[in-house]
Structure 1
Amino acid sequence: MLDINDLALHGLTLRQLATIEQLADVTGLDSEAIGTALDQAVADGRAIAARGAYMITPAGREHLDAVYPGAFAALRSDAQLVSTLADFEHGINKKNLALMTSWQTIVIDGTEQPNDHSDSDHDAKVIDRLAQLHDRATVLLAPFADADALCKRFLARLDDALQKVDHGEHDYVSSVRIDSYHTVWYQMHEHLLRVMGEERDE
């Protein structure tokens, strides 16, 4: 597994640009530990800091690419996890992408248009499908949640986003400005691929 310094860097690969508080939310580490790790990353040239946020550098990515094989060797050699990721990648992940398209667009007179969310029936059906997909994802990814604390945390964050959606905060379906279901799913997918040494199939 990754040590604290590498986990902070890894978090930057999932959020791209992030504050200490945002990385603490992603990784589950406390803010003080994240801050210390990021200070070291900046000193090592593996991250840059600007206006209270951090971004990984090419040197940081190169460092992680060298660290991942050893840190995740046990997970990458687990046949069940390899199979689970393949099922996720070619099945439920594609369904999630289609579902998000259904949320963001709507067909009117045979033409696909941006969804202005005035059709509450359409939106309710998409949210119902999202809840069903979430249940399936939780079951499918259980082997990863058992083997990897960060994956377990991602599933909990997805559950939090879905609960907000259920309480009427519909921005939590796909808004990029917050930790919406779509945003957290994207981060989780990127994490799984990096853990297992795979590329996006999109």
Structure 2
Amino acid sequence: MMTALSENEFLVLNGAHLKKMATAKELARAVGVDPAEAEAVLNAAADKGQLMVAEGKYLLLPDGTNAVHEFYKIAYGALRSNESVLAWYERFETINDQFIKQVSEWQSADGDDRIQARLIKTVERLTKNIQELTPLIPRYQAYVDRFGASVALVDQGEKDYVCKPTLDSVHNVWFEFHEDILSVIGRPRDT
């Protein structure tokens, strides 16, 4: 019998679920909790067999993934039939298609500034749109903050923050957000 996760346990374990493999500090920063609290949650989950630790990074195991998905079902079940949320998601898919195209163009053009400017405008549009959901899902403010931090670094000339996989780049934040909203509405990711 699985014990339901608390809100903080969910935040931290969901961070591990979305990031795939990260340190306690990276997870704490991503989900907006104190690093010591994140580490305590992660260590307790490791003791329960919900995740494993490899070289200081945490990887969610099937029991942990199941607990996270169960929390999504319980906490967000009503949103799965909320017409405004589902309409929001359909609008997101259009923006998502634009973003994917722009990232590919940016990579193909070796970080062209004009393409980068369009890509950042798309990120800013999504950030504004996410704020429509924060009354229903307050933790989504963390995505707004993370996008803002990454965009600020890109604006300062740190092009790695567009899509480098080892950083909290706009691409990585976008990918995690997409996984998250799919879990909220109960849809699998299309391949």
- What TM-score results when the alignment is normalised by the length of structure 1? 0.86
Which residue in 1 is equivalent to 2:98? Answer: 95
1:4 aligns with 8
What does residue 125 of structure 1 align with?
A: 114
Question: What is the correspondence of 1:164-175 to structure 2 with a 5 Å cutoff?
Answer: 164-175=153-164
- Of 121, 124, 131, which aligns to 1:135? 124
Q: How does 1:79-118 map to 2 (within 5 A)?
A: 79-89=83-93, 91-106=94-109, 115=110, 117=111
Structure 1 residue matching 2:59: 3-state secondary structure: strand
Mapped partners of 2:140, 2:69: distance in 1? 19
Q: Aligned runs of 1:1-202 on 2, under 5 Å? A: 3-89=7-93, 91-106=94-109, 115=110, 117=111, 123-202=112-191
Matched residue SS, 2:190:
coil
Offset at residue 2 of structure 1 (A) = 5.4
Distance 2:83 2:155 in 1: 36
Query: 1-side partners of 2:83 and 2:131: how far apart?
Result: 14
Secondary structure of the 2:53 match is: strand
CA RMSD of aligned residues (A): 1.7
Question: Is 1:144–1:151's contact at 8 Å kept on the other side of the alignment?
Answer: yes
Q: Deviation at 1:132?
A: 1.9
Residues of 1 paired with 2:149 and 2:10: CA distance?
A: 26
Deviation string, structure 1 residues 58-90 (Cα, Å, up to 9, x no partner): 11112222222111124334321111012102x
Secondary structure in 2 matching 1:126:
helix
**1:45: how far off?**
0.7
Which segments of 5 or more consecutive residues in structure 2 lack a partner in the other structure? none
Q: List gaps (5 residues or longer) in structure 1.
A: 107-114, 118-122
1:141-198 CA-to-partner distances (Å, cap 9, x unmatched) read 2221232222221122111111111111111111112111111111111111112211
Of Structure 1 and Structure 2, the greater strand share is in 1
Is the 8 Å Cα contact of residues 84 and 141 (structure 1) preserved in structure 2?
Answer: no
Q: Distance in 2 between matches of 1:36 and 1:55?
A: 15
Q: Which of the pair has more CA radius of gyration?
A: 1
Q: Please list the CA deviations of residues 79-120 of structure 1 after superposition, one character each: whole Å capped at 9, or x if unmatched.
A: 21111012102x0001000000011113xxxxxxxx3x5xxx
Q: Which of structure 1's runs of 4+ aligned residues deviate more than 6 A?
A: none
The residue aligned with 1:120 is none
Separation in 1, partners of 2:18, 2:82: 23
Match of 1:109 in 2: none
